Amino acid sequence: MDLNGYITGYSQEQDPVLKWLQKQTNLRTNHARMLCGPVEGKLMEFIASMIQPENILELGAFTGYSAICLARGLKEGGHMDSLELNDELEDLILQAHEKAGLSDRITLHIGDAKETLLRLREEGKMYDLVFIDANKREYPTYYELVFDMVRPGGYILADNVLWDGKVYQENVPQDAQTQGILKFNRMVKDDPRVENVIIPLRDGLNLIRKK
């Protein structure tokens, strides 16, 4: 048994809804490895439950697994906006929200995340918790777009910030995704408006608190 297997084996098991969604993700998509999985999902649920956010924003829903985990920590009467580019996943995402009993608490926005963010900004939306897990090359842009939408004392979670170890290799790859993650990590580290810590869980989770 490797480290990830041990951690998974000795952490709380997924509930039936998340087990169903993981299975459907494997059956109905070609990128099931993008799923955050039970351990990271439970951590995000814990974080959201501790923060008790009134409003959550998610960039990159995939099949809806992370949205369910985060939305379970919403404050009573709270709401979540979940953004996803791929319209082919819409039916599965909405089905998952329904099975989890969260359809009335999560609004799914299909389309380009940057365009949707601009619209939400114009509507004056503010959030207590933001989860970034969309196009890696766009992480710096997402950070700039969402920052003023986060309340003081609010949190930003960014996934995949270790990017399979590429960002800390001696010779960092020059592809756009790796460089996007690298630039994002530097932006956060050098930003005096926040404090942060990178958690080496799965592919790395950057936990950022706005001062």
Locate the domains of the chain by residue range: 3-210
Q: Looking at residue 79, what is its pLDDT?
A: 98
Banded model confidence at residue 33, pLDDT cuts 50, 70, 90: confident
| Structure tokens that stand for 29 in this block | 């998509």
- Mention the CATH class of domain 3-210: alpha beta
Mean pLDDT of the chain: 96
Q: What is the pLDDT of residues 140-193, one digit of tens each?
A: 999 999 999 999 999 999 999 999 999 999 999 999 999 999 999 999 999 999
**Where is 23: in which H helix or E strand?**
helix 16-28
Grouping H, G, I as helix, E, B as strand and the rest as coil, residue 151 is strand
Q: Is 207 within 8 Å of 51 (Cβ atoms)?
A: no
The arithmetic mean of pLDDT across residues 24-51, rounded, is 92
- Provide the whole-model pTM: 0.95
Residue with tokens 């963010």: 117
pLDDT on residue 144: 97
CA torsion sign, 180 to 183 to 187 to 188? Answer: positive
Quick check: 68 pLDDT over 90?
yes
Q: What is the arithmetic mean of pLDDT over 45-72?
A: 97
pLDDT confidence tier of residue 108, bands split at 50, 70 and 90:
very high
Is the per-residue pLDDT at 31 higher than 90?
A: no
Query: What is the per-residue pLDDT for 36?
Result: 87
Kindly report, residue by residue over 189-209, the tens digit of the pLDDT. Answer: 999 999 999 999 989 999 999
Q: How far apart are CA 193 and CA 197, in angstroms?
A: 14
